[in-house]
Copies of this chain bind each other. A is one copy, B any other.
Amino acid sequence: MDTAESLTRLYLDAIENGLKRAVEHSDSFESTRLHEMLAYHMGWMDHKRKSSLAGKRIRPLLVLLVCSAAGGDWNNALPGATAVELIHNFSLIHDDIEDHSSLRRGRPTVWKKWGVPQAINTGDAMFALAHLEAIRLADTVNVQVGLQAVEILQKTCLHLTQGQFLDLSYETRSDLTLDDYWPMVEGKTAALISASTEIGALAALKNQPLSELYRRFGLLLGLAFQIQDDYLGIWGDSCLTGKSSQSDLVTGKLTLPVIYALSKSAQFADRWNAGQICGSDVQDVIKLLETEGVADFTRGQASRLLNEALMVLQKAEPKGIAQEALESLAMNLVNRQT
């Protein structure tokens, strides 16, 4: 294995095969169509545009890269990798219903295609499949790590729902501050990314102290990642993201730039409070945000957290090509344009 890229490609192939095998568990004589909905969401049904549909598999990649960088055999960590990706996808299926999102990666969402009842249930099936994967770490690593990983994932899922609860509650509030923002994104995004790096480390190290550093690396990276997501929701080319053709400014989403800008009580805040922003106003409102220093603040927060993440990673003394791949993945995640 020569380069960081070829290592990443190898891992991505193993992840995709692991995911397909895991999702197969849902397939039985009677429930072929349940399996079909799961496979559709995972991006495996539309052969024409395959690569763009499957998602970036960032979380499982982090599991395997951390495991290698911490000196472990990535093969042993594979059930942890598939588990975190399935949990991510369970939460996407449910979030799409909760946020009333019709499109994901340029295709109709599960609820849009099969209705809300089947979509809720398909998300639940994905949740169960995720945990069936995690428990396999008891075989590939050892019983203690298997139990620890299962517990980390369950706590993470609880944390996810707490974050999502806050996000849904904020929709009706107009008095948010940055203090409200951090617990929401820690739950919604950073918790699962930190679980990914922690589980990867546990699979290699089977003990706590260094795993804690990797967990913290994941947490900081997850926060930086979410802030970049918030940034792209306003400044990104929405066609590139494929998520929606609407700016977060139009949907009224309370992201870091918006919450920060509202706290300044300047022109943007007046415009925001005056009523919904239409598509034709977006460019003007973006200019207001830029004038008020909001774009710089947002990018600054992402950079600060990325740097902190990389410093914590360094303390964990990662090794080999995996270290290189890990650092470049982290930087790409926070500097990505899609």
Which chain A residues have a beta carbon within 8 Å of chain B's beta carbons?
Answer: 25-26, 28, 30-31, 33-34, 91, 94, 97-99, 116-118, 120-125, 127-129, 131-132, 135, 138, 143-144, 146-147, 150-151, 154-155, 157-158, 160-162, 164-166, 168-169, 183
B128, B158, B165: the one contacting A158 at CB < 8 Å is B128
CB distance from A207 to the nearest CB of B (A): 17
Q: Given A124-B94, A135-B154, A154-B135, is A30 in contact with B161 using a C-beta cutoff of 8 Å?
A: no
CB distance from A38 to the nearest CB of B (A): 10
Q: Is the CB of B118 within 8 A of A94?
A: no
Q: Is the CB of A30 within 8 A of B166?
A: yes
Q: Is the CB of A116 within 8 A of B117?
A: no
B26, B122, B165: the one contacting A31 at CB < 8 Å is B165
Residues of B within 8 A of A127 (CB): 124, 127, 157
Residues of B within 8 A of A160 (CB): 124, 128
Cα–Cα distance between A169 and B117 once the two chains are bound (Å): 10
Cα–Cα distance between A160 and B164 once the two chains are bound (Å): 24
Q: Is the CB of B97 within 8 A of A120?
A: yes
Q: Is the CB of A158 within 8 A of B129?
A: yes
Q: Is the CB of B158 within 8 A of A121?
A: no
Residues of B within 8 A of A25 (CB): 158
Q: Is the CB of A34 within 8 A of B161?
A: yes
Q: Given A34-B162, A154-B128, is A121 in contact with B144 using a C-beta cutoff of 8 Å?
A: no
Can you list the 10 inter-chain pairs with the closest CB atoms, starting with the nearest?
Answer: A98-B117, A128-B157, A125-B161, A128-B158, A34-B165, A31-B162, A131-B154, A132-B154, A124-B161, A121-B164
Cα–Cα distance between A160 and B165 once the two chains are bound (Å): 25
Q: Is the CB of A138 within 8 A of B147?
A: yes
